[in-house]
Chain A
Amino acid sequence: MAHKTMLKHASRPEPICVSTETIGDRSSREYRVTVGDRTLEAEIEIAPDGSGRMRLAGKVVRFFGSRRGDDIQVWYGGRVYDFKIADTRQSAGAVKRSAMLPELTAPMPGTILRILVGDGDELVARQPLIIMESMKMEMTISAPAAGRVKEITCAEGELVEMGALLVRLQVSEDDDAGDEEAGENEAQNA
């Protein structure tokens, strides 16, 4: 029985269910690949450097593939496609809740330029909290949802590592404003 994996791609609202199984004996390079409700047959070879060749629908093409944990990248025809393996044990609701995690961290190493809020401040969704500078770019870290500032854990002028905790929030439980855009780091020209 082929193992099913859910793949997320930015262009698709829902994850794509994929699975592969070998056709013939184990040394075969021919596979039956299920993508959603379609089944495709392909002959595939991937070299140790990730460069690959595939015969699909009678055509041989070149591609590059790489995987880092749950991150998959495929280069094909001059473009790079990013996929993420979705954790199938997690329901869609759980994904949404985790997107409202009340701890905001630095998305890149950089300098804290300005802190726009203080401990205990009431927040609305998307309210800018912190302005950082990294690689000559300014970026704004905003509230993922309405709530309150529990604790600011960085200081203006501080050089922070990537992933450093910047601010703890208390997210309002009745508020459902955690739309996809909220909490996104918006970068702009410094």
Chain B
Amino acid sequence: MFKKVLIANRGEVAVRITNTLQQMGIVAVAVHSEPDRWGLHVRRADEAYALEGETAADTYLRINRIIEVAKSCGADAIHPGYGFLSENAAFAQACIDAGIVFIGPTPDVIRKMGDKMIAKTTLADAGVPVVPGYWDNGNADIATLEREAERIGYPVLIKAAAGGGGKGMRVARTPDELRSGVDVARRESVSAFGDDRVFLEKYVTSPRHVEFQIFGDSTGRAVHMFERECSIQRRHQKIIEESPSPALSPELREKMAAAAVRTAEAIGYTGAGTVEFILDESGSFYFLEVNTRLQVEHPITEMRLQLDLVRLQVEVAAGMPLTFEQNDLEPAGHAIECRIYAEDAARGFLPSVGEIRQFDAPAGANVRLDSGVFAGDHVTVYYDPMLAKLAVWGQTRDEALARMAWALRRFVVTGVTTNIAFLASVIRHPQFQKGEYDTHFLDAFDLEDGEQIPDEVLVAAAMLAGRTKATGHGEKAVTTSASPWRNAGRWRGV
């Protein structure tokens, strides 16, 4: 087993990996940017080394510098976490070249799955269902596109080959819409990317995002660890995940799980990965992509299976085979995760920066917190504003929902604006409670607002206002008028 592992990441995931490494008796090494030098992941690590710089590009994305640190401190392996370099084939290769184990799949698998077209073709060949579409070289004439759209079946999605972020994307429900949509998509794509190639894909009207955790070892064996339902998204980013999915019948689960395992076997997957699917109302599902890393929402899988996925990742990377069979995995109960972001739901989920004045998280049986921050910490503009992940488990979905509602109501974060109250209103929503939702759920979500300020709040505010020199916690406050929070207030209307 490894003696020392470097974690090439920051925030809650670096803390979470540190915990497992230390529990395994492995020395955990942190790397950090300048703004993160007092961060929680640095405090928890056994050793910490600076990556000089502030931005992600100058620090957590600098392959050579990270390898250099790993070599000089004598790390046997590097865990990339998620994000940053976790799905970078060049980084995985650089680790191998330096004689350091990369905790993840092979560079070849990362490269293949990172290219959406190669991933789709590889998996279609392996018998995994992919979204029906028309891809050729992207220069097909309109007559060909019309014929292909008929074959795929309307509505279809017109996608720019070079596209991204919704640019050059159009939905067509009729041949007329197809003709005008192709023109618009081509024009948009030329102006945005200098490329007029377009493709067609079946448009799934009420999609759910359901993914399966997979795990492979170096003997070529792969298992699935059941699903996570991740349809609650804002800006195409998940904020609430649950397992099991309220949308899967046992038969459908079995079919999707088999496709996930087929995916893992087809590409010779090692370590932890996730196969993402789109599921439509009729129960048809299509392969979306493989995430070749630990997923943000892995805690809900761990809670249902009583497994530590990071420990398994480390063991598999060290060459150990999985010690269990598919049939040994029996998930129990229901788990839900909420991602706690420093952002303002009332202002288009605008990130909020500044000092975290107070941070008091809920605790209790079947409540798990993966946090990367503490009271007095600062949220900066440099990195993703996710502060923590709150996960709960219950015997039933109803029990888990009630526990999550309690936990969110009990979760205190002040200083930066967070999405906690927003998450609570989603959890309370009747449609969510019934499990009837798709990836568009938050698009039409009405914020609860305009309510009365409770007397308790007015009294507390009056007490704080009445102190010329604010007491207690506020004392330091009066002198820190230059804190970013103060200025961030101007954001709300200059």
**Chain A residues packing against B (C-beta within 8 Å):** 2-3, 5, 7, 9-12, 16, 18-20, 31, 33-35, 40, 42, 44, 46-52, 54, 56-57, 61, 63-69, 71-81, 83-85, 99, 101, 104-105, 107-110, 134-137, 139, 141, 144, 162-163, 180, 183-190
Contacts and interface: CB of A to CB of B under 8 A. Distances in A.
- Which 6 A/B pairs are nearest by Cβ-Cβ distance? A50-B473, A78-B409, A18-B462, A67-B474, A5-B465, A67-B470
A63 B357 CA distance: 14
Contact of A49 (B457, B472, B490, B492): B472
B464 A67 contact: yes
A135 B351 contact: yes
A19 B459 contact: no
B482 to A, nearest CB: 9
A51 B381 contact: no
Interface stretch (B58-66, B131-139, B258-266, B410-418): B410-418
A57 B418 CA distance: 30
Contacts of A20: 462-463, 466
B473 A49 contact: yes
Interface stretch (B2-10, B17-25, B448-456): B448-456
B456 A76 contact: yes
Contacts of A54: 456, 459-460
Interface in B284-300: none
B339 to A, nearest CB: 15
Given A35-B455, A69-B477, A188 B381 contact: no
Given A11-B453, A72-B465, 17 more contacts: A5-B466, A18-B465, A19-B462, A35-B455, A44-B460, A64-B414, A66-B414, A66-B474, A67-B478, A73-B357, A81-B453, A84-B489, A105-B494, A108-B491, A135-B384, A187-B347, A190-B165
B465 A137 contact: no
Contact of B466 (A3, A163, A185): A3
A143 to B, nearest CB: 10
23 contacts: A12-B453, A16-B458, A35-B462, A46-B463, A48-B472, A50-B472, A57-B455, A65-B461, A66-B358, A66-B415, A67-B465, A67-B473, A71-B486, A72-B464, A75-B412, A78-B409, A78-B424, A80-B417, A83-B465, A105-B490, A135-B384, A163-B487, A180-B493
B140 interface: no
Nearest to B353: A108
Contact of B421 (A80, A105, A139): A80
B118 interface: no
A108 B414 contact: no
A107 B488 contact: yes
A46 B471 contact: yes
B477 A68 contact: yes
A105 B358 CA distance: 28
Interface in B337-382: 347-348, 350-351, 353, 357-358, 360, 375, 381-382
Given A109-B381, A187-B350, A49 B358 contact: yes
B163 interface: no
Nearest to A80: B414
Contacts of B470: 67
Contacts of B409: 77-78
Contacts of B303: none
A183 B454 CA distance: 31
A16 B455 CA distance: 12
B205 interface: no
A56 B415 contact: no
A50 B230 CA distance: 36
A106 to B, nearest CB: 9
Given A19-B462, A71-B489, A78-B421, A137 B350 contact: yes
Interface residues of B, number: 68
B455 A56 contact: yes
A6 B350 CA distance: 28
Nearest to A50: B473
B467 interface: yes
B386 to A, nearest CB: 11
Contacts of B382: 135
Contacts of B489: 71, 84
Given A84-B489, A107-B491, A51 B360 contact: yes
A109 to B, nearest CB: 5
Contact of B485 (A5, A68, A184, A185): A68
B484 interface: yes
Contact of B457 (A44, A81, A137, A184): A81
A61 B456 CA distance: 8
Contacts of B483: 68
A106 B464 CA distance: 30
Contacts of A56: 455-456, 459
Nearest to A107: B491
B383 to A, nearest CB: 8
Contacts of B488: 107-108, 162
B483 to A, nearest CB: 6
Contact of B358 (A64, A83, A136, A187): A64
A138 B394 CA distance: 40
A147 B449 CA distance: 34
B461 A7 contact: yes
A52 B460 contact: yes
Nearest to B494: A183
A11 to B, nearest CB: 6
B306 interface: no
Given A31-B463, A137-B351, A50 B494 contact: no
A177 to B, nearest CB: 15
A112 B455 CA distance: 44
A34 B455 CA distance: 11
A107 B350 CA distance: 12
Contacts of A35: 455, 458-459, 462
A64 B461 contact: no
A188 B234 CA distance: 12
B429 to A, nearest CB: 15
Interface string B434-458: 0000000000000001110111111
A83 B463 CA distance: 12
